Amino acid sequence: MSEWAPLDGGNRDEVVLVTGISGSGKSVALHALEDAGFFCVDNLPPELLRPFIRLEHARFTNRVAVAVDVRTAGSLPHLLPLIDELRSEGLRVRPLFLDASTDALVRRFSETRRPHPLSTMASGGDSARALIDAIELERELLADLREVSTVIDTSQLRPAVLRNWIRSLVGAREAHLTLVFESFAFKNGVPLDADYVFDVRVLPNPYYIRELRPLTGRDAPVATYLETQPEVRAMISQIDGFLQHWLPSFEDDQRSYLTVAIGCTGGQHRSVYCVEMLARRFEGRHATLLRHRELDARD
């Protein structure tokens, strides 16, 4: 019997490690996890992670979320091997990394007027330059942790949308690899959390059909129009084939999540339809999540 065997004979003990760039929404994520039934603690030093999990296990708590950030930078090198150790002992560990563009982070720090945790380490007398230097230093310190985590780009997400995405992630059925299909608008930038990006702007655009313009790729008239276009069917089939070919390699590489981002001009018609169709093709064989960045931001 492993050290972290199920307490109730059901679900394995689970720990979500919330990390990421300062100002990217870690507090929002932690509150969402608390609402989802996790026992949460903020800014726990990595060396206390194992004793903390053991204590909560003894209290019959099998869903724990811990925020670890750059304020404990000196201990971060010990975190990656600790994650591997805990997993080898039977504990389900999900590292979740929140990221955002530098422009978005600068805007958030300007609005809140809070100092960046690494601001004293940044050089230069200009406050704006010092903030950017601190953000870049933080990216460098957390780069290795980002590589092994599920990444969420919060640059354009309202707190309510981020909370919904977090709940979807932790609510997904346990699987070796979870596929995340995300639509987006190129005019608003490529998502930072994308593992693969496919550009469908070459496909026929429903925007130029007056009665379809106000609709989205989730609406039947748009879907009917796009499914009759040979180019659209070919694009979806080729993306499907590409993913089918490479998914076993990602599973062999112990990846937990793979984010496939599909982009068009406005993130409303073509990319949304393609994401919906691809998710349908894969949902019977893999744990699958759907995101529509631009549409979610409207809701």
Q: Which of 113, 143, 171 is the last residue of a domain?
A: 171
Query: Is the model's pLDDT at 11 over the cut of 60?
Result: no
The contacts of residue 58 (CB under 8 Å, 6+ apart) are none
Instruction: Write down the pTM of the prediction.
Output: 0.81
For residue 213, pLDDT over 80 is answered with yes
Residue 86: other Cβ atoms inside 10 A: 20
Q: Which residues pair with 183 in a beta bridge?
A: 262, 292
**Is 8 within a domain?**
no
> 82-91, 116-125, 198-207: lowest mean pLDDT where?
116-125
Q: Identify the domain containing residue 123 by its residue range.
A: 14-171
**Residue 143: burial class (beta carbons within 10 Å; 0-12, 13-18, 19+):** exposed
Residue 178 host element (H or E):
strand 178-185
Q: How far apart are CA 156 and CA 108, in angstroms?
A: 12
CA distances from 205 to 137, 213, 268 (A): 42, 9, 10
DSSP alpha helix (H) spans, the chain: 26-35, 49-58, 79-88, 102-112, 127-147, 159-171, 220-227, 230-252, 270-282, 293-298
Summarised one tens digit per residue, pLDDT across range 221-243 is 999 999 999 999 999 999 999 99
Residues 37 and 150 grouped into a single domain: yes
Kindly indicate the confidence band of residue 285, based on its pLDDT and cuts at 50, 70 and 90.
confident
Q: What is the pLDDT of residues 49-62, one digit of tens each?
A: 889 888 887 777 77
How many alpha carbons fall within 13 Å on the CB side of residue 16?
Answer: 29
Note the pLDDT of residue 116.
86
Across all residues in the chain, what is the average pLDDT?
88
Average pLDDT over residues 175-183: 88
167 shares its domain with 182:
no
pLDDT above 50 (res 175):
yes
CA–CA separation, 103 and 101 (whole Å): 5
How does residue 214 score in pLDDT terms, banded at 50, 70 and 90? very high
For the cut 50, the answer to whether the pLDDT of residue 164 exceeds it is yes
Residues 99 and 136 in one domain: yes
Residue type, 299: D
Closest CA to 165 of 184, 143, 180, 149: 180
Q: What integer is the mean pLDDT of 12-38?
A: 91
C-alpha–C-alpha distance, residues 24 and 70, integer Å = 13
User: HSE (CB half, 13 Å, CA atoms) of 154?
Assistant: 28
Q: Say whether both 190 and 93 belong to one domain.
A: no
Instruction: Identify whether 1 is part of a domain.
Output: no
Residues 161 and 33 in one domain: yes
* Partner residues linked to 14 by β-bridges: 63, 92
What's the rounded Cα separation, in Å, for the pair 132 and 119?
Answer: 9
Assign residue 130 the CATH number of its domain: 3.40.50.300
CA atoms of 199 and 291, how far apart (whole Å) = 16
In angstroms, what CA-CA distances link 257 with 49, 70, 146, 150, 266? Answer: 23, 23, 13, 6, 26
In a domain, 20, yes or no: yes
Please indicate whether residue 8 or residue 173 has the higher confidence score (pLDDT).
173
